[in-house]
Chain A
Amino acid sequence: QITLKESGPTLVKPTQTLTLTCTFSGFSLSTNGVSVGWIRQPPGKALEWLALIYWDDEKRFSPSLESRLTITKDTYKNQVVLTMSNMDPVDTATYYCAHNVGIALRPGYWGQGTRVTVSS
């Protein structure tokens, strides 16, 4: 059974760096073709892909946010960590991590999401 769970702060101040951890079970991020992505959803708005990390450590980032994002994996701990620098109130959103297999990025397993508010 595949499960994912996001964790991190619920409130960050403007200009701070956000660090989110996705802890998963039921699969290995060392298996060929597996990837974990981060997707966010501002209140009342559309879902937005942020970043993706593959089993072979290849990484992809949203072009509009690339300069602010890092993504890393710890295969032994079954975790993926996303950092986003220089947070702004417009970054207030629910952040999800999601599991994908293969080159077609249509995740079938998602975490429950973690709500992050950016406010001073």
Chain B
Amino acid sequence: EVVMTQSPATLSVSPGERATLSCRASQSVNINLAWYQQKPGQAPRLLIFGASTRATGIPARFSGSGSATEFTLTISSLQSEDFAVYSCHQYNYWPPTFGQGTKVEIK
């Protein structure tokens, strides 16, 4: 099973600032990597798939990059609605696996 490790566990950011989240896979997952946003009491929301493709309706301030084992999610200018938990998800192998999440909180 592929282990996904995210860092940092918590990121404190002021509104309007840039946030950079990292995700590392225990083995290469090519670009079969997605990012999800989750708010308390809500289901995950797909943001990015294919490492860098925004899902339908996702604002351009969200961008993804990386391949193989190293991936990054960047939120260029944090809005109030962006404070949430972000999880990376590899789907190159069965079973697909998620990282433990990075909580983006208001500084």
Contacts and interface: CB of A to CB of B under 8 A. Distances in A.
B1 A46 contact: no
Interface of B: 1, 32, 34, 36, 42-44, 46, 49-50, 55-56, 87, 89, 91, 94-101
* Top 7 closest pairs, chain A to chain B, by CB: A110-B43, A106-B34, A47-B98, A105-B91, A106-B49, A46-B100, A49-B95
B95 A62 contact: yes
Interface in A94-120: 96, 104-108, 110-113
Contacts of A96: 43-44
Contacts of A105: 91, 94, 96
Contact of B98 (A48, A62, A64): A48
B95 A63 contact: yes
A104 B43 contact: no
Contacts of A63: 1, 95
Contact of B46 (A62, A107, A111, A113): A107
Given A106-B46, A108-B55, A110-B44, A45 B91 contact: no
Contacts of B94: 60, 105
Given A96-B43, A111-B43, 13 more contacts: A46-B87, A47-B36, A47-B87, A62-B95, A63-B1, A104-B32, A104-B50, A106-B34, A108-B55, A108-B56, A110-B44, A112-B42, A112-B43
